[in-house]
Amino acid sequence: SPKLEYLLTETRGRVAIVTLHRPKALNALCSELFYELNQVMKDYDNNKDIGAIVLTGSERAFAAGADIKQMKDRHFIENYTEDFLGHWTQITKVRKPIIAAVNGFALGGGCELAMMCDIIYAGDKAVFGQPEIKLGTIPGAGGTQRLVKAVGKSKAMEICLTGSVNLSAEEAERAGLVSRVFPADVLVDEAVKTAEKIANLSLPIVEMVKDSINTSFETPLSAGLNFERRLFQATFASQDQKEGMAAFAEKRKANFVHN
């Protein structure tokens, strides 16, 4: 695999751990970093031995946002013709579950990146915010969209309109942005534990759950319920549904073959 400049990668059993590693800039998301991230995520998505992915940063910062120094002199026409930040959406196409383990700052693009993941766990010192307005711009990768769905309109407005009202880990958990908070030093291990649990279930069925929940954001309820029911019906074409239900009836542990 190609040498990575801004990421560290590791696998533990069926779990891949991807660590944002640009310590000099609090993991600011320069375009090179994001290209590496897209490539690594795509490789793990296509790797049969991986069932779930944990994305983390350092104890000080998950990511402090898009790289302000790199983008400050850009112009509208190049942004438009190159679809600036358009490539950030690739990570949302990953079919396997991604757990964000957020310690420290998750600001601007960092908060948006965490929200592109499927589950967010936070370390107790994590800080979530959308400070773009203080730079004379607006969130460009989901801060005004996904955040509303996660915390509701009033909190999202307050966070994005002031740029300085941030959510602590505890507040983020209470608001529903984050599903659990852990002491910073055990956060990644806890995220890996959950990832292992998921990775030991049937991968195609896990992917159907992710697909179905994500569909709820894009469709009216009746269409979403139809989509869900069709996938539910389709699980009966899998070996793992036969195994899972037989194991229950026989009072033994299921042995999934990801098929």
Please state the closest distance from residue 163 (CB atom) to ligand CAA, in A: 8
Distance CA 63, CA 109 (A): 7
The verdict on 112 binding ligand CAA (CB under 6 A) reads yes
Distance CA 131, CA 141 (A): 13
The binder of ligand CAA chosen from 143, 169, 178, 240 (CB under 6 A): 143
What's the maximum distance between 2 C-alpha atoms anywhere in the chain?
A: 65
* Whole-Å CA distances, 127 to 44, 88, 145, 191, 248: 28, 21, 19, 18, 42
The verdict on 107 binding ligand CAA (CB under 6 A) reads yes
Within positions 47 to 66, which residues make up the interface with ligand CAA, using CB under 6 A?
Answer: 64-66
* Catalytic residue of the set 25, 61, 63, 66: 66
Q: What is the DSSP letter of 31?
A: H
The verdict on 69 binding ligand CAA (CB under 6 A) reads yes
Indicate the residue among 115 and 201 with the shorter CB distance to ligand CAA: 115
59 as an active site residue: the answer is no
Of the candidates 252, 247, 225, 206, the one whose C-alpha atom is nearest the C-alpha of residue 95 is 206
Catalytic positions are 66, 109, 112, 132
Question: What is the binding site for ligand CAA (CB under 6 A)?
Answer: 25-26, 28, 64-69, 85, 105, 107-109, 112, 131-132, 135, 139-141, 143
